[in-house]
Amino acid sequence: MNHISSSTLQAIQAKVSLQLPTTAMLELPEKVLQFGTGVLLRGLPDYFIDKANRQGIFNGRIVVVKSTTAGDSSVFEQQNNLYTISERGIQDGQIIEENTVCAAISRVLTAQTEWDEILRCAHNPEMQIIISNTTEVGIQLVQDDIRNNKPPVSFPGKVLAFLYERFKAFEASKAHGMVIVPTELIPDNGKKLESIILELAHLNSLETDFIDWLESSNTFCNSLVDRIVPGKPEAPMKANIEASLGYTDALLTVSEVYRLWAIEGDAHVKEVLSFGQADEGVIVEPNIDLYRELKLRLLNGTHTLSCGLAFLAGFKTVREAMENEVMDTFITNLMLAELSPAIPYHVSALTAERFGRQVLDRFRNPHIQHQWLSITVQYSSKMKMRNLATLLNYYDKIACVPAYFAVGFAAFLQFMKVEKEEDGKYYGNFNGEFYPIQDEKASYFAEKWQKLSPEALVDAVLSDKGLWGTDLTALAGFAEAVKTNLSQMLTLGTWQTLQAFVRKGELV
């Protein structure tokens, strides 16, 4: 089989549905500077831009900046920056498999060796947008000399140097400011990046006119991305996909079908990010808190309240759990009957229901292998951040014990039962095998389990204001429900307890 490249496109004879780029798409002007080569960017922002180009909406391509020396970017050049996005998943109960050769990327430049070329991009009048996902570098303040460091050390330093070059190239023209949209998974990512860049500008003693232009002519947008993009599939799956496509692809990128890029912005931002017109997964609104809350409370919250329970019930992956009727019933009802109506944000029941159903489809995706054990990392802080406000709001609105929540919380306490400490690392035990407890509060729970009975432990943990910020024993009936569930898990087993709970008909 041929390798994917611009010269082999016409020879492709796929056995499945495959969208190929037109010649015109390969000649579109560069409008986006992207920091990062990772699969999330390729599978979400770049996907949206490619889709818009196919519809004649955005009509622009991406210059990718490779910020680190790790990894090999030569494969992009070998494939003329073409790669395949294979969407695999379930949508509205239907199995979806779609393939697209993405032509959104025009070239990949390495910051360490091609910084001058990157700065030349600042002179391109059609450049409008900067996007990023710099997991290796991150959005953090680093003392950086942006005039003499070529390239600057930090990601914010690189962005500042690029904007400073653009300021000089277009003589402070307001019309040539940029829209900057980071996708890093931190709260208020756009505003945080803006504050760091402004501080760096002052630390570098840049002129007042530039700082005024930076603040008045450029827009930094908070954004939220939500799409599972595992990237390169395992060898058997990759071979099957390539056989059906009729070519090989070293950048083959598998993603789920669901996609969301929520961006905080006004009419100007919406106009610049015109690619959003091509897909309902791009949302540009003045406030994106609703989308953040839906994801945090329903997707992340359900994961956190289910991970210990599912793992100790013998399930390794989310998909495996959803293929079991008992576990599927628990997760579905936990999400839709308890978490959904108690989201601590104004959201209509229909919106929450629709989002929840989409999440359940994602959990059932046969092509995504999401390990429950990986979700338990920093279990206690996730429990507080993702679920505490929902629990308190549930009591305010419904004023009774949330039964599913109590089962999930009991499993959390059982999972945190430390059975071994070795070299400063903590382990629990399931069916005679040790599993890692990767939590900054592991020593806290180790001490509690060592000194207290299960009943006393529940009271001690729930009443710990230092842990939760409030006394959870004040929630009528909650501590008693957790104690009952934990006792049954320790005596009967987690799986047996879960089965009995579901069969009692206590779930809606």
Q: Give 46's contacts (C-beta < 8 A, 6+ positions apart).
A: 34, 62, 102, 104, 105
Q: Considering Cα of 371, then 376, then 381, then 382, what sign does the dihedral take?
A: positive
Q: In terms of DSSP bridges, do strands 179-182 and 129-132 run parallel, antiparallel, or are they unpaired?
A: parallel
Contact indicator for 284, 263 with CB cutoff of 8 Å:
yes
Whether a cis peptide bond, with omega within 30° of 0, leads into 344 is no
Query: What is the model's pTM?
Result: 0.87
The number of beta carbons lying within 10 Å of the beta carbon of residue 72 is 8
- Above 70 in pLDDT, residue 465? yes
pLDDT at position 505 is 65
Q: How far apart are CA 53 and CA 60, in angstroms?
A: 7
Rg (CA), the chain: 25
- Of 178-182, 364-368, 384-388, 479-483, where does mean pLDDT reach its minimum? 364-368
Rounded to 5 degrees, φ, ψ at 453 are -70, 160
pLDDT at position 135 is 64
The number of beta carbons lying within 10 Å of the beta carbon of residue 128 is 20
Q: Considering Cα of 479, then 485, then 486, then 487, what sign does the dihedral take?
A: positive
Mean pLDDT taken over the chain: 95
Local confidence band at 507 (pLDDT 50, 70, 90 cut-offs) = very low
Residue with tokens 């950086």: 144
Q: How far apart are CA 258 and CA 281, in angstroms?
A: 8
Q: How far apart are CA 197 and CA 174, in angstroms?
A: 18
Rounded to 5 degrees, φ, ψ at 177 are -70, 165
**Averaged pLDDT, 239-255:** 96
pLDDT at position 67 is 84
pLDDT at position 70 is 65
Residue 492's SS3 state is helix
Residues 126-163 have pLDDT tens digits of: 999 999 998 656 899 999 999 999 999 999 999 999 99
Enter the tokens of residue 48: 């949206």
**Averaged pLDDT, 238-266:** 96
Of 27, 47, 24, 121, nearest to 275 by C-alpha is 47
- Above 80 in pLDDT, residue 49? yes
Enter the tokens of residue 479: 């501590």
pLDDT at position 114 is 96
Residue 171's SS3 state is coil
- Above 60 in pLDDT, residue 508? no
pLDDT at position 94 is 85
Q: In terms of DSSP bridges, do strands 282-285 and 179-182 run parallel, antiparallel, or are they unpaired?
A: unpaired
Residue 396's SS3 state is helix
Q: Residue 359: is it exposed, middle or buried by C-beta count within 10 angstroms (0-12/13-18/19+)?
A: buried
Q: How far apart are CA 4 and CA 264, in angstroms?
A: 36
Task: Tell me which amino acid residue 15 is.
Answer: K
Task: Tell me which amino acid residue 216 is.
Answer: S
DSSP state of 231: B
Q: How far apart are CA 39 and CA 46, in angstroms?
A: 10
Of 133, 128, 137, nearest to 42 by C-alpha is 133
Residue 383's SS3 state is helix
**Averaged pLDDT, 37-43:** 95
- pLDDT over 70, % of the chain: 98
Enter the tokens of residue 416: 């945190």
Q: How far apart are CA 495 and CA 493, in angstroms?
A: 6
Residues 395-440 have pLDDT tens digits of: 999 989 999 999 999 999 999 999 999 999 999 999 999 999 999 9
- Above 60 in pLDDT, residue 33? yes
Say how many residues make up the chain: 508
- pLDDT over 90, % of the chain: 92
pLDDT at position 230 is 83
pLDDT at position 68 is 76
Alpha helices, H only, 130-234: 155-169, 189-203, 208-217
The number of beta carbons lying within 10 Å of the beta carbon of residue 114 is 16
- Above 60 in pLDDT, residue 113? yes
Q: How far apart are CA 321 and CA 56, in angstroms?
A: 42
pLDDT at position 71 is 65
Q: How far apart are CA 457 and CA 448, in angstroms?
A: 6
CA 491 to chain centre: 37
Residues 323-336 have pLDDT tens digits of: 999 999 999 999 99
- Above 50 in pLDDT, residue 32? yes
Enter the tokens of residue 287: 């406030």
Which domains does the chain carry?
14-81+103-228+258-285 (3.40.50.720), 289-503 (1.10.1040.10)
Q: How far apart are CA 84 and CA 250, in angstroms?
A: 9
- Of 41-55, 221-235, 253-267, 485-499, where does mean pLDDT reach its minimum? 221-235
E strands of 111-150, at which residues?
129-132
